[in-house]
Structure 1
Amino acid sequence: MAKGSSMDICRIGLHNPNMTTARTKIPSYRLFGEHQDDPADFWLHCEPIPERTHLHNWEIALHRHEQFFQLFLLPQGSGEIVSQDGILAFTAPVILYIPPDAGHGFRFTRDIDGLVVTALADRLRSLTAADREIARFAEKLRIVAVAGEDGTRSAEAIERIDAELSGRSIGRSLLLEPLMTEALVALTRASRPGNGQQEQDRDLARIEALLTIVDTHFRERHPVGFYADRLGVSAAHLNRITRNASGLSIQNLIDRRTLETARRDLIFTPTPISKIAYSLGFSDPAYFNRFFRKQTGLTPGAFRDRERRRLAD
């Protein structure tokens, strides 16, 4: 799969009960402190992502925006998008596209950085009416790698939107709409597969096989080369197609699978933390503690206590 392709088919992540939430039960958020009866007399807003996410401990609950769409430019960090269709993992540099009325939430790592642009949906409708490919792109949530000419061009347009909104230059309002058009057109182009269908299918099959092998062997803490050898490709090539499809490296996939099992065991079993560490292939519980804290910001013990209190409540 070519650089810049979108991650519509990735099946990576944890099961989350929010996935099955009916659309009508997902809260619809208005933005920027508006009241429900305020007139929507603006159409574009941009802000740094850390300003909002750190207020919510880097997690944003499942919600939707009926009248807005969003672009997240993430040059740093990683995380997961929680949607009604599943959990999609991503690693920077990527651009996230959230269509109007789509249920979504976020789990970000603490090093997340970047910009979020929010715009009124009617500006999107004018673009989708003019071009069938953009309309197809805009129908669903997307994760697009910032790679190649088009991905870079979209990222630069988002940065210019932020610069125009932050300044007082002459005619800035005249530039905002063409900059948004450029960002969306370039993002649509960046999401298109660059290889032939046969190569795409082969890469997708390799990713599916990789996920199966990871599920079977993640407790053994094998190096990346073990998985590449099982699939008959080089580690560099397997990492490349995995990143293009999911935004994650092979090691990221292994770590996420390990973390998923660790979380489940900590919450739902009385197993001592040291035994959980050994069962996951860690030779030293202290190494497991460092691994878990790096991934979650909490020690295994603190995570277990917090989640059990939540269940009790």
Structure 2
Amino acid sequence: MKLFSAPPLSQFAKPKTQAATAPTARATTLPETPSDIRVMPITRLAHGGRWRVEAMRALSEPCLLWFTRGQGRITIGGVTRGYGPHNAIFIPAGVMHGFEIGQQTHGVALFFGRDHGVTLPHATHHLRIRENSRQVELSGILDSVQREMNSDSPGSDRAAKHYLGLLSVWLERQLGTAADEAPKPSAAKRLVARYAALLERDFRTGHGVADFAAELGVTPTHLTRSCRATCGRAASDLLQDRKMFEARRLLADTRLPVKEISNSLGFTSPAYFTRAFQTKIGKTPSQFRRTG
């Protein structure tokens, strides 16, 4: 098993302190998600448009992606790497991410809910599971969680949470056995991880790349160079992608007026928001709301 991890392996977080240690401190910037446990096919995440998985966004709950087939790239916290079959990727609440999804992509996504009550890692972890027994074990736990969540039997909710506890132990064991294999993040990766956390926290403020660079103590040129080195994209591209995801989400999932969406994302005027949206998406906000 090979491990890729943003920071070195840390101690596991207690559920009560997890929100305080997440990279983004302002939960109001995160999409609203249900508080209960959900297990669903990864392909279902793209229902309503591939932008729902490919654009940069963050969740207000932790999730685990278990890829069983297909390959592509995933960007987490501003760092892009490849994923393939039998990759398990744990993403804490509040961490900005997006990944490619194709016709050959198969797997399961587990959403823990905001009040999951189990011990989980502080940081993102990308595990490449080589041993067949560990692959079978993880798939079995996820199947059991889904079965209990779909059951009307007495105690099914409690049983599902117990299986989450087993999953927590499975993660802890995999991370513990592979801790020595985790490479130390480069200076560029550390900088971009800090930028991604700031971006997720403040993307609604109207701040530009120069503002974020100043807060990080670097020049915009250096920040962009680091972003290109870690994910192949400019710092401005990550910022725009995050804002456009939120714009599409609000247009698709709410009835907020375009003017209010524009204001909430820090645009100086609805006209400027409309031009920026049409340039990036190829439709005006009103057209996107009607046709998706």
TM-score (norm 2): 0.50
Structure of greater relative contact order (alpha carbons < 8 Å, 6+ residues apart): 2
